Amino acid sequence: MGKHIEQADLSAFWMPFTANRRFKASPRLLVSAKGMYYRSHDGREILDGTAGLWCVNAGHCRDEIVQAIAHQAAAMDFAPTFQMGHPVAFEAAEKVAALTPPGLNRIFFTNSGSEAIDTALKIALAYHRARGEAQRTRFIGRERGYHGVGFGGISVGGMVANRKAFSASLIPGVDHLSSTLNIKEAGFSRGQPKWGAHLAEELERLVALHDASNIAALIVEPLAGSAGVLVPPVGYLQRLREICDKHGILLIFDEVISGFGRLGAAFGAQRLGVTPDLLTMAKGINNASVPMGAVAVKQGIHDSIVGAAAEGVIEFFHGYTYSGHPLAAAATCAALELYRKEDLFNRAASMAPFLEETVHGLKGLPGVIDVRNLGLVAGIELEPRPGEPNARGYDVFVKCFEAGVLVRMAGDIIALSPPLIVDKPQIERIVETLASAIKSVG
């Protein structure tokens, strides 16, 4: 950093999703990164067990991506995409569309997952309006779902802490399915739980309550990450797809976390065998090197919206100054080529069984009430201390950092999502460090 930590003034930066007073009293600063490791302000190597924030899938500071960004910055730092274009954005869209499920070949670029969610909701409304069903305005989300922090995203999302302060300003006409997590019935499941497919039938109940003619779309995460690694039961997503098809409801998959190899395939849709109508993405789209998100849309949906407008008229009044930003698009092209060249999606699939076996070895440790996993993702749920929710999880997170391993805390749940380049000894170190931390905090 520009100043030594003892001299730095940390007050100006209002940090996101952070207990600011506690952090600034005892800061944890990362000053450089390479491959699987960060380096902290005090010179320690920190093994990255979270791919940054579910996003640095190919590891840190990869030369191919760094060079692509530098080359693009030197050639052209910015170009508008309103009534203009630049070649790299079109190239990036083509490369993304080559990875998405069949038919989802129209790509709308955003700058983040939150923006991708709000964009997808708008596309769903525009589609129904273009087809003469403008009354389809209701959305259905899911309890404990996380869909970013825009007003649309927190409205369809189901995380109480994100919603409660803004409850009077959430968008109307939103309902929620139940969460699929049930530790009593499906605790310590390896991969997809066998219990829980029947929960998809709640969608039929909501259809009966609101009538299908008023419902625009259902949005779910194939794998819910931010809520603490919630893995879909066997058959659950398939049943949601069937009900949506039956009633003309669009199915949106939020793959901001599960996309780009995290589950051992390009997207969770392919890994789990269910194709949505719209698919949101961000994070791993360019290895998190430059802010970037996108929505992949079925061509038929795109064509309905575009075809409903008169020639020469803007068909979809939506976009961002930085949609398809040259640096972000160049980084996307480089990252996707790197994923392909190193076969990282298949590498993730091959490493997943080892992560599963290793992390389930935590069963039986003090306070561990569940372990769940899918692909290169694992969640370890800890029993909250009486009257101190989240305290045990925070203490474990800090202990791991002090021992040189970065894990993700979601309340009293510890999430692991290492870069796809992780090897077996590194997985062992991450889990052994976590085990030691769990034992030490009591």
CB environment 20-34: b (16+ within 10 A), e (fewer): eeeeeeeeeeeeebe
pLDDT in tens, 39-80: 999 999 999 999 999 999 999 999 999 999 999 999 999 999
May I ask the CATH architecture of the domain 66-341? 3-Layer(aba) Sandwich (3.40)
- Which residues of the chain does CATH 3.90.1150.10 include? 20-58+343-441
- CA–CA gap between residue 218 and residue 239 (Å, rounded): 13
Token output for 169: 């300003």
Look at residue 288 in the predicted model and tell me its pLDDT. 98
- For 40-64, give the DSSP string: ETTS-EEEESSHHHHT-TT-BS-HH
20-58+343-441 in CATH: which number? 3.90.1150.10
- Which residues of the chain does CATH 3.40.640.10 include? 66-341
- CA–CA gap between residue 150 and residue 282 (Å, rounded): 15
Residues of the chain with pLDDT below 70 are 1-7
Q: Is 39 exposed, middle or buried (0-12, 13-18, 19+ CB in 10 A)?
A: middle
pTM > 0.95: yes or no: yes
Q: Is 394 exposed, middle or buried (0-12, 13-18, 19+ CB in 10 A)?
A: middle
Look at residue 4 in the predicted model and tell me its pLDDT. 57
Look at residue 7 in the predicted model and tell me its pLDDT. 59
pLDDT in tens, 388-408: 999 999 999 999 999 999 999
- Single-letter residue type at 165: A
Continuous segment of H or E residues that includes residue 296: strand 293-297
Nearest alpha carbon to residue 137 among 100, 106, 175, 110: 175
Look at residue 327 in the predicted model and tell me its pLDDT. 98
- CA–CA gap between residue 378 and residue 358 (Å, rounded): 10
- Contact status, residue 356 vs residue 376, Cβ threshold 8 Å: no
Look at residue 240 in the predicted model and tell me its pLDDT. 99
- CA–CA gap between residue 264 and residue 172 (Å, rounded): 37
